[in-house]
Structure 1
Amino acid sequence: MRQGGQPNMQKLMLQAQQMQQKLAAAQAALAEAELTGTSGGGLVTVTVSGSGEFRKVTIDPKAVDPDDIETLEDLVLAAITNASEGVRKLTEQKMGPLSAGLGGGMGLPF
């Protein structure tokens, strides 16, 4: 209920608390998630948390050619890029609905 054109502060505080709880839950889900990026048909695999922490790099010995380090570097970079894209998509999925509600969802002028 508005009084004199002002938003109901109690309602706004409740909505802010609910949004904070949803945000914390989404952040926790991201931190627990693990995504894998691969390249070279699985020759290089990178594991990263949903919060962006790289946890593991696996390189198949078949990818290691001392006379062609550049290809291995490219494979590692491609796997990292692939894993990072997975993190971006997961973050968008988990956080997108929360950020969409910030605009006017709480009656705040954004």
Structure 2
Amino acid sequence: MFPEGMDMNALLEQAQQMQVQLQQARDDLQDASFSGTSGGGLVEATVTGGGVLTGLVIKPEAIDPDDAEGLADLVVAAVRDATSKAAQEAEKVMPDLGSLGL
């Protein structure tokens, strides 16, 4: 079943080490914050690596009482920008599970 000379215990130990490293990367990502902006910086959103919105800053000049929909669009765009940055970081720090044979 295993190629000759392959140590099953060493393989299991390596898998356990990879699991610990993967969990650490997940934990680090959850604790990280990512900011995104829209409207040339009029709106800034901050999310965690897990995608939780933790902050929202709206500059006064972004507020037009006659255009609430426009402000909503800016908020959505800023949150998407921040979430996209978090996802890009996740792709960088998380190993490609396919390459690990999992």
**Alignment TM-score > 0.5, same fold:** yes
Aligned residues: 102
Conserved? CA contact 1:34–1:50, under 8 Å: yes
The separation in 2 between residues aligned to 1:56 and 1:8, in whole angstroms, is 50
Partner of 2:97: 99
Partner of 1:36: 35
Stretches of structure 1 lacking an aligned partner (at least 5 in a row): 104-109
Instruction: Using the aligned pairs only, state the percent identity.
Output: 44
- CA apart distance, 1:98: 4.9
Name the amino acid aligned to 2:48.
Answer: S
Scaled by the length of structure 2, what TM-score is found?
Answer: 0.87
Counterpart of 2:11 in structure 1 is 12
TM-score (norm 1): 0.81
Q: Deviations over 1:67-88 (max 9, x none)?
A: 0111101100110110111011
- Partner amino acid, structure 2, of 1:15: Q
Matching residue of 2:59: 60
**How far 1:100 moved relative to its partner?**
4.9
Aligned partners of 1:19 and 1:98 also within 8 Å: no
CA distance in 2, matches of 1:42, 1:63: 9
Distance 1:50 1:27, change over 3 A: same
| CA shift for structure 1 position 13 | 1.3
Shift of 1:8: 3.4
Instruction: Report the secondary structure of 2:64's partner residue.
Output: coil
Letter paired with 1:79: A
Give the aligned partner of residue 87 of structure 2: 88
